[in-house]
Chain A
Amino acid sequence: MIAFLLRRILYTIPVLLGVAAITLLLFDVAGGDPVAMKLGKNPDPAEVEALRAALGLDASLPVQYLNFLGQVVTLNFGTSWIDDTPVREIFLRGLMPTLSLSLPAFSIGAVLSISLSLVVAFYRGSILDRAVTALAIAGISVSSLIYILVGQWLLADQWKLFPIWGYEYGPSAVFFVALPVLIWVMLSVGTDVRYFRTVVLEEIGRDYVRTARAKGLSDTRVLFGHVLRNSAIPIITRLTIIVPFLITGSFLLEIFFGIPGLGSTLFTAITSSDLPVVKAFTMLGATLYVIFNIVADLLYAWFDPRIRLS
């Protein structure tokens, strides 16, 4: 298992080096001169040179790359070009609001998707199954922006059930994140139910289920004791891969509902060309994605010994 883990970690190093190189080239080389942005349209040439030196932009590209790797390793991405706030502070400021949205959305979505999948698979062919499947397909077919716009207009503006926009720290956050959580759940349930239902149906049709039933086990026992357990591998793998996105946040939901989290921070950084923030978040996203891919692999190997052996 340790050899397996080490091998997987080693594979990630070139991936992250590549991501760092692409990030640097994409933003620093092709993204325009940040000095112009900071100093306005009519700067003093000496000031331009001083600022270029201060930002490390006067160094050669390989040196800039090494500097950037240094930032990645030390997790010190400097300060925002827009308001000079340290990137680390920006990240910490946005983390809690993001998690207050993403964690409940993820948890409720996962429980609801798995439960619904089991129910509709169990009642396969029933009107409930058909209705849920049709709704899931319809749900997947609609853009997330439509969910947000319509959800905000209908549930918050027309029916007045939720705040239209805003956020409060502490327990009051529940009221402000309720609608975005609901929309997130609706967005994720469609895809997940379709996928989990297929997984569960595949398991329900297996011989061991027939054997369990022949032994006289109750349907509940068969579903939860056998079917769900054997379906867990693809389900957990899928859920694990989603985890990095819980941390980087949903920029659309955060922007539209006024949640001052990491998603809205990234969105505003992109629109205002705040490259240190964008670069840091890009690297963070890539690193988390790679890490949780390893976690998914480990879980997979843990659940299925054949993976370890191979």
Chain B
Amino acid sequence: MPDHLRGGHIRHPLTALLLAVLLALFGCNPDPYPGEEGAILHVGLRLLPKSFDPPSVEEEGSGKVAANVYEGLLTYHPFARPYKLIPALATDLPTVSEDRLTYTFQLKKGVVFTDDPSLPGGKGREVTAEDFLFAFKRFAHPSTTTKGWWLFDDKIVGLNDWRDTLKKDLTAARAAGESPGPLWGLEREVEGFEVVDRYTIRFHLTKPYPQFLWVLAMPYTSVYPREAVEHYGAEFRNHPVGTGPFKLVEYNPVYRAVYVRNPTYRDVYFPDPKNKPAERWDGWEEDEKAGLLVNAGGKIPLLDGMEIRFILEAQPRWLYFKAGYLDFLNPPKDNMDEAIPGGDLSPEMKAQGIRKDPWTELGVVYTCLNTTDEVLSNVDLRRAMALAFDHVWTVKHLYAGQAIVAKSLIPPGVAGFDGDYHPYQADDGHAQIEKAKKLLAKAGYPDGVDPETGRALRLVFESSGSGVTQRHFAQRFVDEMRKIGIQIDVVVNTFPQMVDKMRNQQYQVAGLAWGFDYPDAQNVLQLLYGPNKAPGIGSANFDDPQFNRWYEEASVLQDSPERTELYKRMAHMVADQVPWITRTHRIRNNLQHQWLQGFKYTEVTDQYFAYAHVDRALRDELLAEWNRPTRWPLAVGFLAFIGLLGFSVSQRNRR
């Protein structure tokens, strides 16, 4: 045997290293929540949140993390469908004046902010009408960057003037060398916000605003104490101080948010429709049959805490859920076939006791056509393009069947939806190429040929991002248009580039989607209201006087048959004039593990988490069964390496 092996100088360090690696592997534990106790809800979020500061809670990520620490005057009923508003910090729905211009809210007494070092003595103090006044004024303050200003713009008496004056004065103060803080001038009064007494706040509107109550259930209008804003300054975005059922105890904006039950949360109880008729809602019997009401009458939150992890990649999110480390999940698109092949739960999912809670998204996916573009101002061209779409193919291949063809820009279930009027979309959703070609010829492009160049008409499709999904959709558009002879050039943009182009009307076609802020068709119809065209929110730059009149008429009407009729007319006009090619309403499937109780997925808010509960014993038992390590492959691998080494040594010795 050679010296180096006899002496063991090579063998020993190597073996030691290999043994160490092996021991480390054998000692590993797959549990990602080591040492955790109690009923904790585990949530996997596919996005990163940006802020807890209510005026900045403007996207899904922030909405999810902030929803259960803050509350406003109103919230959504956790189970009722169609969506229904219920009081949160208000005692009841408001008293509204006959002219619909004055809304008066009474606040619940004894509601306190959660304990926080920013508050006197570190103890939560009572919420008063002054706190709401502060929150509303801060939301409108020019130094508060928010994307939600449009919700209040020109809606509250004196608020626009207050804001404009503040802007001017802030500019003047800066010019004079002052450094005005973010709350500078906030003490100035706004005519439209009136604190009647400690527990009463009144809003004076400039005109009837039927969506106002929906707005008061949005995260933008949550309440928080002035002391916290002053104490934390810019860091307030990471230090929420609210009245909600949970309290944030750990936050890493790129990893997770950890919450415990708010010890100062007021007495709120899970609805008990069986025993208390006053708490019933339409469809409560079905919810009871579905097992959602097992905790009826219990004090909420039922959970001891929750942890939201920000899992951006689809594979780990999906594997995490399957292993039981997330309590619920909307499965990623790529895992749809594994989870719900053909629309039903797979045998594997059923064997795990997983439940499915499907619903059609309150939103629409559409192709936006710039109606002010020299070429696309031609309505027959737009109609021809709409007819060339094969929506059925899109649903089957790009959504794995988890979408329905959008017959209208208003989704089913929302007042104004009419699935029967779609003149430029076949009843069955398939493409109508011959009809499209005829319209194309009528538009001046026979067989898609541009008479000016003698070649195929070329249009530019703007895609936001270069991800797989965006590439699929862009390529599909290219293929659809090729069928009628139109050639599409795809341009990939970053999000700011895309916004730039939209704002400056420098685009032709773009693939977009709209998710409703509240369940009212006005929320989507505003995108086609003429005064909202670019640089405003209306990227199609559609500006039809009749549409605009109907929109203005509807905008001051309460929910009524008359308003629904106006919504229908506007939707019909969109279907007829085709500033948008409406494509799909996505179907979302919320998959839930069997230990999760009382959980009905609600897309317009996340405040329903407080009604959920986790059967910890069942969860622990199943997780132990599902996640038993398989260690033999390691031993086999290790022995194979040792065998190979030994064989090589003996081979060399023989030589």
Interface residues of A (CB under 8 A from B): 31-34, 36-42, 46-47, 50-51, 82-85, 93-94, 108, 111-112, 115, 118-119, 123, 126-129, 131, 149, 152-153, 156-168, 172, 174-176, 178-179, 182, 218-220, 223-224, 255-258, 260, 264-265, 268, 271-273
Partner of B29, one of A126, A163, A220: A163
Question: Is the beta-carbon distance between A119 and B10 smaller than 8 angstroms?
Answer: yes
Q: Tell yes or no: B315 within 8 A of A by CB.
A: yes
Of residues A42, A50, A119, which shows the largest number of chain B Cβ atoms within 10 Å of its Cβ?
Answer: A42
Question: Is the beta-carbon distance between A178 and B25 smaller than 8 angstroms?
Answer: yes
Question: Is the beta-carbon distance between B315 and A153 smaller than 8 angstroms?
Answer: yes
Known A-B contacts A37-B499, A161-B630, A220-B10; A112 and B254 likewise in contact (beta carbons under 8 Å): no
Partner of B32, one of A153, A166, A256: A166
CB-based nearest B residue for A47: B142
Mask: chain B, 249-278; 1 = CB below 8 Å from A; 0 = not:
000111100000000000000000000000
Question: Is the beta-carbon distance between B315 and A149 smaller than 8 angstroms?
Answer: yes
Question: Is the beta-carbon distance between A220 and B7 smaller than 8 angstroms?
Answer: yes
Q: Which residues of the other chain, A, contact B234 by a CB distance below 8 angstroms?
A: 84
Q: Tell yes or no: B14 within 8 A of A by CB.
A: yes
Q: Which of B109-117, B119-127, B489-497, B614-622 contacts A (4 or more CB under 8 A)?
A: B489-497
A–B complex contacts, Cβ < 8 Å, 6 sampled: A32-B493, A84-B237, A119-B645, A123-B651, A161-B629, A161-B631
Question: Is the beta-carbon distance between B313 and A128 smaller than 8 angstroms?
Answer: no
Partner of A123, one of B499, B500, B628, B648: B648
Mask: chain B, 43-83; 1 = CB below 8 Å from A; 0 = not:
00000101100000010000000000000000000000000
Known A-B contacts A126-B651, A166-B32, A258-B255; A115 and B14 likewise in contact (beta carbons under 8 Å): yes
Q: Which residues of the other chain, A, contact B93 by a CB distance below 8 angstroms?
A: none
Q: Which residues of the other chain, B, contact A219 by a CB distance below 8 angstroms?
A: 2-4
Known A-B contacts A41-B503, A175-B28; A128 and B648 likewise in contact (beta carbons under 8 Å): yes
Q: Which residues of the other chain, B, contact A119 by a CB distance below 8 angstroms?
A: 10, 14, 645
For the A-B complex with A165-B316, A165-B319, A182-B25 known, give 20 more contacts whose Cβ atoms are closer than 8 Å: A32-B497, A33-B499, A36-B503, A42-B535, A51-B145, A83-B50, A84-B237, A119-B645, A129-B648, A157-B323, A160-B630, A161-B28, A162-B28, A164-B32, A175-B28, A178-B25, A258-B309, A258-B316, A260-B255, A271-B465
Q: Which residues of the other chain, B, contact A85 by a CB distance below 8 angstroms?
A: 238, 253
Question: Is the beta-carbon distance between A273 and B30 smaller than 8 angstroms?
Answer: no
**Least CB distance, B86 to chain A, in whole angstroms:** 29
Q: Tell yes or no: B537 within 8 A of A by CB.
A: yes
CB-based nearest A residue for B649: A123
Q: Tell yes or no: B199 within 8 A of A by CB.
A: no
**Least CB distance, A227 to chain B, in whole angstroms:** 12
Question: Is the beta-carbon distance between B237 and A83 smaller than 8 angstroms?
Answer: yes
Q: Which residues of the other chain, B, contact A127 by a CB distance below 8 angstroms?
A: 644, 647-648, 651
Question: Is the beta-carbon distance between A164 and B147 smaller than 8 angstroms?
Answer: no
Question: Is the beta-carbon distance between A82 and B500 smaller than 8 angstroms?
Answer: no
Partner of B145, one of A39, A157, A182: A39
Q: Which residues of the other chain, B, contact A220 by a CB distance below 8 angstroms?
A: 3-4, 7, 9-10
Partner of A31, one of B167, B496, B503, B645: B496
Q: Which residues of the other chain, A, contact B572 by a CB distance below 8 angstroms?
A: none
Q: Which residues of the other chain, A, contact B188 by a CB distance below 8 angstroms?
A: none
Partner of B51, one of A33, A83, A265: A83
6 smallest A-B Cβ distances: which pairs? A32-B496, A40-B147, A128-B648, A32-B497, A220-B4, A260-B255
CB-based nearest B residue for A132: B644
**Least CB distance, B199 to chain A, in whole angstroms:** 34
Known A-B contacts A94-B254, A164-B316; A157 and B499 likewise in contact (beta carbons under 8 Å): no
**Least CB distance, A279 to chain B, in whole angstroms:** 14
Q: Which residues of the other chain, B, contact A94 by a CB distance below 8 angstroms?
A: 254
Q: Which residues of the other chain, A, contact B315 by a CB distance below 8 angstroms?
A: 149, 152-153, 256
Q: Which residues of the other chain, B, contact A34 by a CB distance below 8 angstroms?
A: 496
Question: Is the beta-carbon distance between A273 and B34 smaller than 8 angstroms?
Answer: no
Q: Tell yes or no: B325 within 8 A of A by CB.
A: yes
- In the bound complex, what is the Cα–Cα distance between A149 and B629 (angstroms)? 19
Partner of B48, one of A126, A160, A223, A268: A268
Known A-B contacts A36-B500, A41-B502; A31 and B32 likewise in contact (beta carbons under 8 Å): no
Interface residues of B in 468-503 (CB under 8 A from A): 493-500, 502-503
Interface residues of B in 516-572 (CB under 8 A from A): 532, 535-537, 539
**Least CB distance, B318 to chain A, in whole angstroms:** 9
Known A-B contacts A40-B147, A162-B30, A220-B10; A131 and B3 likewise in contact (beta carbons under 8 Å): no
Question: Is the beta-carbon distance between B145 and A83 smaller than 8 angstroms?
Answer: no
**Least CB distance, A98 to chain B, in whole angstroms:** 11
- In the bound complex, what is the Cα–Cα distance between A38 and B629 (angstroms)? 47
Partner of A46, one of B58, B167, B494, B633: B167
Known A-B contacts A119-B10, A172-B34, A220-B10; A273 and B496 likewise in contact (beta carbons under 8 Å): yes
Partner of B497, one of A31, A172, A272: A31
**Least CB distance, B7 to chain A, in whole angstroms:** 6
Question: Is the beta-carbon distance between A265 and B648 smaller than 8 angstroms?
Answer: no
Question: Is the beta-carbon distance between B255 and A126 smaller than 8 angstroms?
Answer: no
Question: Is the beta-carbon distance between A152 and B319 smaller than 8 angstroms?
Answer: yes
Of residues B316, B502, B649, which shows the largest number of chain A Cβ atoms within 10 Å of its Cβ?
Answer: B316
Q: Which residues of the other chain, A, contact B48 by a CB distance below 8 angstroms?
A: 82, 268, 272
Q: Which residues of the other chain, B, contact A162 by a CB distance below 8 angstroms?
A: 28, 30
**Least CB distance, B302 to chain A, in whole angstroms:** 25
- In the bound complex, what is the Cα–Cα distance between A33 and B498 (angstroms)? 9
Known A-B contacts A158-B630, A256-B313; A168 and B34 likewise in contact (beta carbons under 8 Å): yes
Question: Is the beta-carbon distance between A218 and B4 smaller than 8 angstroms?
Answer: yes
Question: Is the beta-carbon distance between A37 and B142 smaller than 8 angstroms?
Answer: no
Question: Is the beta-carbon distance between A115 and B254 smaller than 8 angstroms?
Answer: no
Question: Is the beta-carbon distance between B647 and A161 smaller than 8 angstroms?
Answer: no
Q: Which residues of the other chain, B, contact A31 by a CB distance below 8 angstroms?
A: 494, 496-497
CB-based nearest B residue for A126: B648
Mask: chain B, 582-613; 1 = CB below 8 Å from A; 0 = not:
00000000000000000000000000000000
Q: Which residues of the other chain, B, contact A223 by a CB distance below 8 angstroms?
A: 4, 10
Mask: chain B, 1-45; 1 = CB below 8 Å from A; 0 = not:
011100101100110010001001100111110100000000000
Q: Tell yes or no: B322 within 8 A of A by CB.
A: yes
**Least CB distance, A49 to chain B, in whole angstroms:** 10
Mask: chain B, 304-339; 1 = CB below 8 Å from A; 0 = not:
000001011101110110110100000000000000
- In the bound complex, what is the Cα–Cα distance between A111 and B634 (angstroms)? 21
**Least CB distance, A267 to chain B, in whole angstroms:** 8
Question: Is the beta-carbon distance between B29 and A42 smaller than 8 angstroms?
Answer: no
Partner of A218, one of B7, B147, B150, B254: B7
Partner of B31, one of A118, A163, A224: A163
Question: Is the beta-carbon distance between B9 and A152 smaller than 8 angstroms?
Answer: no
Q: Which residues of the other chain, B, contact A257 by a CB distance below 8 angstroms?
A: 316
Q: Tell yes or no: B652 within 8 A of A by CB.
A: yes
**Least CB distance, B463 to chain A, in whole angstroms:** 14
Q: Which residues of the other chain, B, contact A218 by a CB distance below 8 angstroms?
A: 2-4, 7
Q: Tell yes or no: B352 within 8 A of A by CB.
A: no
Partner of B30, one of A39, A115, A156: A156
Question: Is the beta-carbon distance between A32 and B495 smaller than 8 angstroms?
Answer: yes
Q: Which residues of the other chain, A, contact B317 by a CB distance below 8 angstroms?
A: 165
Partner of A111, one of B4, B17, B537: B17
Question: Is the beta-carbon distance between A38 and B319 smaller than 8 angstroms?
Answer: no
Partner of A165, one of B320, B493, B633, B648: B320
Question: Is the beta-carbon distance between A42 and B254 smaller than 8 angstroms?
Answer: no
